Structure 1
């Protein structure tokens, strides 16, 4: 069995592979490199075969999105540690070494995220993960380095190795045994929020999720589905509700979901006033989809859910009403912290 496998999921991303795969090969001598292709219709597979013969190729049978795409691909990968890496990630020298060392020293640690900075503006954190993720009581995710649309400059304020609630799927390390114990990503999600759901399920099983600032990568972000795309809005809102049904503690489950749906409605009205009608419709569509799937997802609940899953009660209130825009502002106000 290999120590670590870097697995890059690809769909019609030949230009991204051409740009970013060389850095992965240059700085990942400890790893076996895979490209898992989701039935691309461009020249991706032939490009990799012709230009990077050392890279192993896994060809999935269709474009199954992030969740099933990785589940299918990883059934063919035999390594102690899976490194799931977006095709628009530039890695840096020695990016794998601190990750491997942490897994070797901390047997209880199951999932690790590196520091994720913006490829286009390398002094700033990147939207999809920053310096590690948390959620509030109503399931809204936020990151150290990024809360909603406020993105921080990296001034070393998160140069630590701390415990997280969730790690970004843009660059996500997980022990093989844990991944399969959890039965991988929820394939019904297709894409978006599936890594938070997986991390929540890992937490419910007693596993530890960590951030390691010594490992640094740069992420383009939005290379496959732009941030302002209504489809992304639909998947995020729908999957967040499904995740809550699966993982919330039984006590208060109905209230939390009901209040979250009210907050979603407010978000829909806000989009409407901004003229973003496609996003308002996407939230409505997400809710109707949630209604049809909620019973099915309730049946996926396990016997045990951690009670204290959230770090703050409402990140929406703190950000939009109290105007606390960055992570450290919130956590310097002790009354906001729910331990």
Structure 2
């Protein structure tokens, strides 16, 4: 026995599974290496060997090896069935499959387990496998053809160090592979019907479709006597199994759309592969080649077993179809990733695999006729859904959704969907289709998509999508902290309704945070705020943290953006066109609506004071009426009009656009302005707000005057883009406006800085986290099914649990009396219910 210590208290138990069939000499070498050479705690290693009905005395020899549990099968179950039988007897949280003609390097187990512990989204670790001498590659990467045949890339190459970087792969080789035990069980293990060959391809394919990663780890090394275990299997039987199992894997795992095209072509190619391999004359039964003697036409012909392999494989594939159909239904329902997602892992999907001239000609013809290049380069389908109307007059939520769709459409098949039919006008021209649907019709759009990007109340309209066990990939855009806005907006309503509405909106946001696979916010300030929400909802789990300690793969900053194309005038707007505004006047623009969380009243007082000495000062409110009819006018709007009239400013120094400027015309107004302004009150909404109108100011190169307290105030101050003033200070605001409007040198310096800063806010730049996610969309780590910890805390005895609970009760009574105890108990019940729901989903 080695001197391995039993000190790995935090390491999981690993069950190493070895299958033997009449190869006892090789198997004994493998088992002894596992016993004597591994650098892994002996008490954490569970070696299980299956004798697959060898009938040659192997079982007796294997039973004599210390530290090995022998499981005997009366019949040969094949590699797949033998591994599954061993897995039923395994005790480890990790299953390690090792061919009987392989031997592990000293740290084979330890390095693989380190990956599984460090990366919770990795479901399996594929070892680096070399030949017995360690000079040539056996496995370092996997590939998959469009017709379902997996292959080892770079097999036979010299191991020159060029394959020593870890990477995600579609599958690992079953000769040296680690899989989370709970996950292996949930997937039903290897497919017994495969017997041998491609059972590892099929398992990796299914893992990836369910959102798990298979990770090639070059530090986990094993050495393999290539095909020593196949010495007694003829080439014809090998071809037969390869052909049949490739068709079975293809049938089970590709989508309906892919299957309809790929399966007929794969069947035809299997026949051609067999006739080409057996060098059969394909024209021998042509009607024009009838022999003169009719009797000769009835004579038999010699056909090699290699030539029969493909035809018989198709015959037995048909035999398996009823049971494969059941398996296919399970896999298609459980999948969360698309065929398109997996194309990069296929490496070279269009690889012909066999260098036979007639076969290559058929491959080329089938790829062309069935347009398989398009099938395996198909775009991902993304639905961007908003509750705002998509029309010429769009507010922030619709504008944001529009640009998300526009940027994503460069790489994917994108639909922009609105559930608001009340907007006026038609949608602008776009490179993507725009749908306006009812909430009831929304489900059809969701079903079409591979990824759904949503905002606002959309998740509440799709109950199936809202379910925590839904397999659809969902991106939740919470750039608008609606509940904080409602604290101000609700001031105009009665107290009871205000409390009810706030609870409802908070629930809407919590549902998105609980469900989202990827969550977007608008600023670093917001990110800190939403991290608190996620933590309180229990989503900052060890799994999420270990997968990405920054948590940016779950919650990322995607600000509002601006066009990368500078604004160009398309028509008149204010100067010389708006009555009361002259060609040489100094124009301050308020770009956006007037809502309760803003402070236009202080701005009016500032304009009133400045106008005494600056008669050419003009303030223009760009839009008083929201384009979404569902957004009512707020009380502050009418108070603004009344104060302006009372101060004698209306239509002299202050002007109101009572409707909403079309999105495609707003640049004309911005280009007429000399500066942009936004003023707000000092409260919690301000702290986490992201004033999108400021981006329009930057787009148009306008110096900015803003109240302090939000993230844009920090930007304006830090980058010298204008002037930041205290809240509720009309004198400071008047001086700031005077500075940016009438100090030409100061205004020019602001514009120079704006030119540099605005490049970082183009839509292409700010949407990069979303673009990156959609290139490889996956479920959030804590939403992966069967993601139990590798090392579990032993269950408490009932006495220990009772003492613990009584201690908690005493603490809660001391802290807050019976009320605190009741509150804590309620929270515990909710947590248990949530855990049961998630556990049910995982099962």
TM range (shorter): 0.7 to 0.9
Residue 72 of structure 2 is aligned to residue 45 of structure 1 = no
Q: 1:9 aligns with which of 6, 19, 26?
A: 19
Q: 1 CA distance for matches of 2:69 and 2:279?
A: 49
2:217 counterpart SS class: strand
> In 2, are the aligned partners of 1:11 and 1:37 still within 8 Å (CA)?
yes
Alpha-carbon distance change, 35 to 161 in structure 1, aligned in 2, over 3 angstroms: same
Which residue is 1:265 aligned to?
271
> In 1, are the aligned partners of 2:50 and 2:85 still within 8 Å (CA)?
no
Range with greater deviation from structure 2 (134-143 or 6-15): 134-143
Partner deviation per Cα, 1:202-233 (whole Å, 9 max, x = no partner): 11211110000011111112223248621111
Alignment of 1:1-339 (within 5 A): 3-28=13-38, 29-30=40-41, 31-50=45-64, 52-119=65-132, 122-126=134-138, 130-146=139-155, 151-226=156-231, 229-273=235-279, 277-301=304-328, 302-303=332-333, 304=335, 306-308=338-340, 309-310=342-343, 311=346, 312-316=348-352
Shift of 1:137: 2.3
Shift of 1:40: 2.1
> In 1, are the aligned partners of 2:150 and 2:198 still within 8 Å (CA)?
no
TM-score, normalised by the number of residues in structure 2: 0.36
2:208 counterpart SS class: helix
Partner deviation per Cα, 1:234-270 (whole Å, 9 max, x = no partner): 1110011011111111103122011112222232122
> In 1, are the aligned partners of 2:123 and 2:183 still within 8 Å (CA)?
yes
Partner deviation per Cα, 1:10-57 (whole Å, 9 max, x = no partner): 11221112333222222234322221111221222221233x222111
Unaligned runs of at least 5 residues, structure 1: 324-336
> In 1, are the aligned partners of 2:53 and 2:72 still within 8 Å (CA)?
yes
> In 2, are the aligned partners of 1:131 and 1:145 still within 8 Å (CA)?
yes
1:160 counterpart SS class: coil
Shift of 1:133: 1.3
Larger relative contact order (Cα-Cα within 8 Å, sequence gap ≥ 6): 1
Range with greater deviation from structure 2 (13-22 or 221-230): 221-230
Max Rg structure: 2
Q: Which ranges of 4 or more aligned residues in structure 1 deviate by more than 6 Å?
A: 317-321
Q: Write 1 or 2 for the structure with the bigger share of helix.
A: 2
TM-score, normalised by the number of residues in structure 1: 0.86
Alpha-carbon distance change, 18 to 71 in structure 1, aligned in 2, over 3 angstroms: closer
> In 2, are the aligned partners of 1:2 and 1:78 still within 8 Å (CA)?
no
Q: 1 CA distance for matches of 2:349 and 2:62?
A: 47
Q: 2 CA distance for matches of 1:268 and 1:185?
A: 27
Alpha-carbon distance change, 295 to 279 in structure 1, aligned in 2, over 3 angstroms: same
> In 2, are the aligned partners of 1:113 and 1:212 still within 8 Å (CA)?
yes
> In 2, are the aligned partners of 1:144 and 1:158 still within 8 Å (CA)?
no
1:96 counterpart SS class: helix
> In 2, are the aligned partners of 1:114 and 1:215 still within 8 Å (CA)?
yes
2:221 counterpart SS class: strand
Partner deviation per Cα, 1:78-132 (whole Å, 9 max, x = no partner): 101000111000211212121011111011111111111112x531112xxx103
> In 2, are the aligned partners of 1:79 and 1:176 still within 8 Å (CA)?
yes
Q: 1 CA distance for matches of 2:48 and 2:192?
A: 21
Q: In the comparison of the two structures, how many residue pairs are matched?
A: 316
Which residue is 1:331 aligned to?
none
1:212 counterpart SS class: strand
Unaligned runs of at least 5 residues, structure 2: 1-10, 281-301, 361-375, 378-774, 776-843
Q: 1 CA distance for matches of 2:47 and 2:192?
A: 24
Shift of 1:276: 8.8
**CA root-mean-square deviation:** 2.5
> In 1, are the aligned partners of 2:21 and 2:51 still within 8 Å (CA)?
yes
Q: 2 CA distance for matches of 1:318 and 1:8?
A: 31
